[in-house]
Amino acid sequence: MSRAARWWLAVGWAAMLLLPWYALEDGLFSFVWLRDPWGEDAAPLIVQVLRHGRIWLAPLLLAFAVPLLFAFVLPPEGEARRRRAAIILMLCGALGLVWLFGQGFAIGARGLSWGWAKDLYGDFEGRQFGLGYGGMIVAVALLFLLTEGWARRGALRGDAFVLGSIGIVVATTILFVFLPVGLVLVGAARVEDGWSLLAVAKRVTSSDIWSLGCFVGATCGTFWKTLLLAVVVGALSTALGTAFALLAVRMGFRWQGALRLFALLPIITPPFVVGLAIILLVGRTGALTVLMDDWFGIPPTRWIYGFPGMALAQTLSFTPIAFLIMIGVVQGISPTMEEAALTLRASPARLFRTITLPLMRPGLANAFLVGVLESISDLGNPVILAGNYDVLSVQIYFALVGAQVDGGRAAGLAIVLLGLALAVFVLQAFWLGDRSYTTVAGKGDTGTHAPLPPAVRHAVYWTALPWIGITIAVYATIAFGGFVTNVGRDHSFTLSHFVDLFSIESGAGGLAWTGGAWKSLGTTLETALIAAPLTALLGLLIAYVLSRQVFAGKGAFEFITMLSFAIPGTVIGLSYIVAFNTPPVELTGTMAILVICFIFRDMPVGIRAGVAALSQIDRSLDESSLTLRHGGFATVRRVILPLIRPAIVAALVFGLVRAMTSLSAVIFLATARHNLSTTYIVAQIETARFGTAIAYSAALIAIMAALILAIQWLVGERRLGRRALQT
């Protein structure tokens, strides 16, 4: 038996003998449980079986006992027996896992969970709670016994590390993506006294989702409104992103640095902050609105609340993403092709229409679909700007936290939203995915681009420059709005918003963090700093597996790992409440659920960065390490990781930033005890405390910028020059 297998056996036994099997009220590290370590709440598995009559846990002991038998009593000699031992190990791991989760779902806090089981075993008395550290660690140990045994049988070149990685990724993705989303689908079937498929059909096809009433004078359904907004935002942001890309690459624009900043700033801006700035500028009491009223007598209205405001805010938020996609596409167009066309006497206009534009078409479609996906997933801007224009994400939100809570309706809406998002994602992944990215390869093409036709140049200037103006106005509002008493009404300088948020008083008992924001900021930083490294780790691990290993089902593996990116945050948030409110995995209200949510939502970014970095490192490097006595893990640590530092930085930064700016999922998961900056700010906006909100937003942006610089400095640049890479 391998060292790793022995180690996991030992870990499993230790957890079963020593650690509390179930989750504890006060957490493991409060050590309150040490007062009564063998009691019903805190006892480890073995005591639960022997003393508390939870006899259904006993088979787990067997799963760890049988491999021991084969390791020490009947040590395997010869190839055949070693293979048999490997199979036994696999079986023990697999059956143990099935049993662990099977019993966990079957027996809950109120006894048997399923009606038919109750009918069968009516007098069953058992009850249990969510898995604690003991249970979780045993689950992990079982998983690795399974993959160890599998590797011993020669799967994946016998590399237990790789197999273990795949195992942990698949298991956690099932647990934290598929299970919750699946339970939402089930949730849509829940009615007062049981389950009904009819209810699903009714909820999913409800007329307030699908109604086409707006063609006959009434209002249309939420689905159509969401789609309309998404299509408009997708088209606008694509057009603007393209204009900026042409400006940056093809028109010798002088302020390249400013363009970069323009592309990067929104990434560290929480999505709803743009919406907030828009309210402060052109809302009913916005600065511009007031000016217009004073100077031209244009009366203030609420036009910004609804479609126009949301379209404006989302276009502002998502144009930079389109820009990043389109700049790759525009750079990827080989000048040679255009030169060839020029020598055939094509005019600039004809050239643009017949060569340049068709070459950009897949990129345009890609940027459009990404914009659509972002728009339908966005919750922050709609929550503060939607007015009477209902979109799906907001409807889900209000179905859960609004005046009348209706979980079934939320689930129905979530299914529709999920379907829409997945349709867009699949379209993007299969129809365009590869094509639009291969053009980004850094080609050594020489030659100069043909000049753009005058009409195109003018169009670019006339869209891009005004838009830059609007962007500047928005960011100026964010930067300075926190320093005035009341934007629009009273522009006298004040620090009171910052004092409210971040005051520290030194009293008798030392420093007192009296500011209102400290608690949420602390939680945000803590969760983000825990989640970011884990996100990067998991993402890069998956990238390693994807780009270096060949195995059956790899395509499906890749697809499911990227899928969580496409699932709208509102759906994830909703599904986490549904799934992790009850045993066996009970996480609601904990910080862990926030961290897990961040990890699985943002991991695809790490995967992309990792795959891109790994594709530049020749496979023979890791293979030679493998033949030099280093296993998969040592190879990753000593060869791969040092060579992909930039990808690590990128993944860390992205993980951090996305955790700190995300709202749509965590708005369901944050609690009074674990409140987050974004949810705190949204609460401020909802109660019209705009000054505090904008001040906090600005502070958050500044903190993120500082953290990014710190990470870059910590992880450092790659230590070798370009030349050194060319072995």
Partner 1 sequence: MSTPAAVEFTNVSRRFGPVVAVDSISFRVEPGTLVTLLGPSGCGKTTTLRMIAGLEMPSDGAIRIGERDVTRVSAAERDVSMVFQSYALFPHMNVLENVGYGLAVSPMTAAQRDEKARAFLRKVGLEGYEKRQIGALSGGQQQRVALARALVLEPQVLLFDEPLSNLDAKLRRRMRDEIRDLQRELGITAVYVTHDQEEAMAVSDKIVVMKDGHIAQMGTPDELYEAPVDRFVADFIGGANLIDCEIAGVEGDTARVAVGGTTLSQPARGLRSGPATLAIRYAAVRLQAGGAGALTGTVRKATYLGSHREFTIDSPIGELFVIEPDLSNSLTVGAPVAITFRDRGLALVAR
Residue ranges in contact with partner 1 by CB under 8 A: 79, 83, 151-154, 157-160, 618, 620-621, 623-632, 634, 638-639, 642-643, 719-721, 723-727
Question: Could you give the angle at which helices 357-377 and 307-332 cross, rounded to 10 degrees?
Answer: 140
| Closer by beta carbon to partner 1, 479 or else 617 | 617
| Closer by beta carbon to partner 1, 555 or else 721 | 721
- Residue 194 has φ and ψ, to the nearest 5°, of 140, -140
Closest approach of partner 1 to the CB of residue 81, in Å = 12
| Closer by beta carbon to partner 1, 519 or else 630 | 630
Closest approach of partner 1 to the CB of residue 638, in Å = 8
Task: Spell out the alpha helix ranges (H) of 297-406.
Answer: 307-332, 335-343, 348-351, 357-377, 380-385, 392-401
Closest approach of partner 1 to the CB of residue 666, in Å = 38
Which one-letter amino acid corresponds to residue 43? A
Tokens describing residue 506: 């030194």
* DSSP 8-state code for residue 107: E
Torsion of CA 204, 208, 214, 215, to 10 degrees: 40
Distance between CA atoms of 535 and 658, rounded to whole angstroms?
11
Task: Residue 438: name the closest of 603, 298, 328, 571 by CA.
Answer: 328
Closest approach of partner 1 to the CB of residue 711, in Å = 20
Distance between CA atoms of 609 and 174, rounded to whole angstroms?
23
Distance between CA atoms of 652 and 516, rounded to whole angstroms?
28
| Closer by beta carbon to partner 1, 621 or else 683 | 621
Question: Can you tell me whether residue 366 is helix, strand or coil?
Answer: helix
Closest approach of partner 1 to the CB of residue 16, in Å = 29
| Closer by beta carbon to partner 1, 358 or else 642 | 642
Closest approach of partner 1 to the CB of residue 724, in Å = 3
| Closer by beta carbon to partner 1, 353 or else 630 | 630
Distance between CA atoms of 525 and 528, rounded to whole angstroms?
5
| Closer by beta carbon to partner 1, 403 or else 550 | 550
Name the residue with tokens 């986490």. Answer: 576
| Closer by beta carbon to partner 1, 150 or else 305 | 150
| Closer by beta carbon to partner 1, 465 or else 725 | 725
Closest approach of partner 1 to the CB of residue 551, in Å = 11
Task: Spell out the alpha helix ranges (H) of 107-205.
Answer: 115-120, 133-152, 160-173, 179-187, 197-204
Closest approach of partner 1 to the CB of residue 605, in Å = 25
Q: In Å, how far are 220, 274, 392 from 388, measured between CA atoms?
A: 12, 20, 12
Distance between CA atoms of 58 and 81, rounded to whole angstroms?
27
Positive or negative CA dihedral for 151, 154, 156, 161?
A: positive
Closest approach of partner 1 to the CB of residue 630, in Å = 6
